[in-house]
Amino acid sequence: MMIPFSWRHQHDVHTARCIRTHTITAALLTCVIIPATVGGQPTRTPDVHFVPTPMDVVEAMLAVAHVSKQDRLYDLGSGDGRIVITAAKRFGTRGVGIDIDPPRIAESKRNADTAGVTGLVEFRQADLFETDLRQATVVTLYLLPTLNVKLRPKLFAELRPGSRVVSHAFHMGDWEADTTFNVNGRSVFYWVMPSKVDGDWSLRVGDGGSERTYALRLSQNYQRLTGTATAGGHTLSVDSARVVGDSVIFTLADTTGGATARHQRMRFAGRLNGSALAGSVSGGNRGAAQWRATRGTGR
């Protein structure tokens, strides 16, 4: 049975100290304390008891992210390395485990050797907030909600659109998950990093003599979009709009039949390619058609 979100949030915060898959140091629990280092390596001893992620949750996290051998997986707070090792063994995925605890790093390397995947995985003793994530296509987490929120700007700054983020047990604050599900009483949250598409666009629908141009203005909050489209003196609301990686979908009403005509809803689906959006549109008075949007307003 799915745990109600409000209860789950209170329960997770209350029990966060005893249900850990990943090792978190006291330094990571604050924004002002920086771990002491020797030779560039963190030396602070973890103060949270390590508890491994159940394998059914590991498998579900990898499944929802559609992990493959083309991916580069980073597990932040990797514990005994089981997420990285499982991905490598089952899917041929190259992975990097980040943990601040030296014994966990040593254990992970032994486990990788036993599993026969040392050529695919790497384990680094490091502060996850100082780790460069630009090579990652998948990031896995089991951190407190406060740490997830603290990590969120780094994910948006360093991960490419379309990269996937999977968190065991804890959400990302007001960044709503694309998918949330339950594995034997344990919650899993899944996000796809969205492209940045907010701003003004010149939207053209159809071709030749039947082409119509809209001044499209989009506002973006993570993967959610709102906005307006203006054409022929009519301003239409953009709704049911979202970004998934480089894919964009939205709906607006078409009044090309005249002011007295019943508004027809048109459904746009397309992709971002460089500085342009393009795809197909269905509904309205036109039937199926193509559309393209470029940066800048059109009148």
- Mean pLDDT computed over 23-46: 42
Confidence of residue 121 (pLDDT cuts 50, 70, 90): very high
- Mean pLDDT computed over 158-174: 97
Cα separation, 94 vs 118, in Å, equals: 10
- Mean pLDDT computed over 4-8: 32
Confidence of residue 234 (pLDDT cuts 50, 70, 90): confident
Confidence of residue 31 (pLDDT cuts 50, 70, 90): very low
The tens digit of pLDDT for each residue in 131-151 reads 999 999 999 999 889 999 999
Confidence of residue 32 (pLDDT cuts 50, 70, 90): very low
Cα angle 68, 181, 25 (rounded to 5 degrees) comes to 75
- Mean pLDDT computed over 175-187: 97
Radius of gyration, alpha carbons of the chain: 23
pLDDT of residue 212: 87
pLDDT of residue 89: 98
Domain 5-192 has CATH 3.20.20.150: no
- Residue-range domain boundaries for the chain: 5-192, 199-295
pLDDT of residue 30: 32
- Mean pLDDT computed over 78-86: 97
- Mean pLDDT computed over 21-31: 36
Confidence of residue 34 (pLDDT cuts 50, 70, 90): very low
pTM for the full predicted model: 0.80
The tens digit of pLDDT for each residue in 36-58 reads 444 455 555 553 457 788 999 99
In the CATH scheme, what architecture does the domain 199-295 have?
Beta Barrel (2.40)
Fold identical between 5-192 and 199-295? Answer: no
- Mean pLDDT computed over 253-272: 71
Helix or strand or coil: residue 134? Answer: coil
Cα separation, 292 vs 207, in Å, equals: 10
Cα separation, 276 vs 293, in Å, equals: 6
Cα separation, 270 vs 253, in Å, equals: 17
